Amino acid sequence: MDIQFKRLTEVSKSAIVELMSSPLVRRQMPLLTGNFTDEDCDKFIASKEQMWEQHGYGPYAFEIDGEFAGWGGVQPDDGEADLALVLHPDFWGVGKVLYKKIIDKAFGEMNLDSVVVFFPPSRTRIQGFLRLGFVKDAEMEVGDEKFIRHRLMNPSKES
């Protein structure tokens, strides 16, 4: 399996629109409301590219065997490093492999102290994340939606 991390500008906009329009994907993303149009996609890509320009890091597009599989990685979010992983349902089985690559980048190459993930309370199947070492660390509101933030500490920085 050939996995490539690319910038979102390097993949087909229509593939991103298709991903973000998938009912199975949208079910996990309560802030994603209404139709995800080409214009929304342009704004989405621009906001993610701005992260790269301002912070030197941001999310990637994932290609697996030459096919767009989704997007994610570590992205700056209000002083935190937010781990995002949004995959097309056809690629949900590859999530663990991508997660490991993202964490290796975050804690190895980037030497971050921790990463966080945000889950809506409706997402109850998170046992896998808890087994990886994520710990609930806050409940918060983002865009009028409730989220539970979980944190994973960089094991090389824990004393």
How do residues 6-37 score in pLDDT, each as one tens digit? 999 999 999 999 999 998 888 877 777 788 99
Indicate the pLDDT class of residue 106, thresholds 50, 70 and 90: very high
Q: How far apart are CA 159 and CA 149, in angstroms?
A: 23
- Amino acid occupying residue 114: S
63: pLDDT strictly greater than 60 = yes
Residue 66, Cβ neighbours under 10 Å: how many?
Answer: 7
Tokens found for residue 19 = 């991903």
Task: Assess whether pLDDT exceeds 80 at residue 94.
Answer: yes
Q: Find, among 142, 139, 28, the residue nearest to 78 by Cα.
A: 142
Query: Could you give the CA distance from residue 107 to residue 35 in angstroms, rounded to a whole number?
Result: 36
CATH 3.30.70.3420 fits 3-112, yes or no: no
Residues contacting residue 48 through CB under 8 Å, at least 6 positions apart:
8, 58, 59, 71, 75
Determine what percent of the chain is predicted with pLDDT higher than 90.
69
Q: Taking CA 26 as the corner, what is the angle to CA 20 and CA 30, rounded to the nearest 5 degrees?
A: 120
Residue 83, pLDDT above cutoff 80: yes
Whether pTM > 0.85 for this model: the answer is yes
State the chain's maximal CA–CA distance in angstroms. 47
Q: Give the pLDDT confidence score for residue 122 in this predicted structure.
A: 79
pLDDT digit string, tens, across residues 112-143: 999 999 888 877 778 888 898 999 998 988 77
pLDDT of 136: 93
User: What pLDDT, on the 0 to 100 scale, is given for residue 158?
Assistant: 67
> Per-residue confidence at 99, pLDDT binned at 50, 70, 90?
very high
Can you tell me the mean pLDDT for 66-80? 94
Q: Within 13 Å and on the Cβ side, how many CA atoms surround 17?
A: 12
Confidence of residue 159 (pLDDT cuts 50, 70, 90): low
Per-residue model confidence (pLDDT) at position 123: 78
Distance of CA 19 to the CA centre of its chain: 13
Name the average pLDDT for the chain.
91
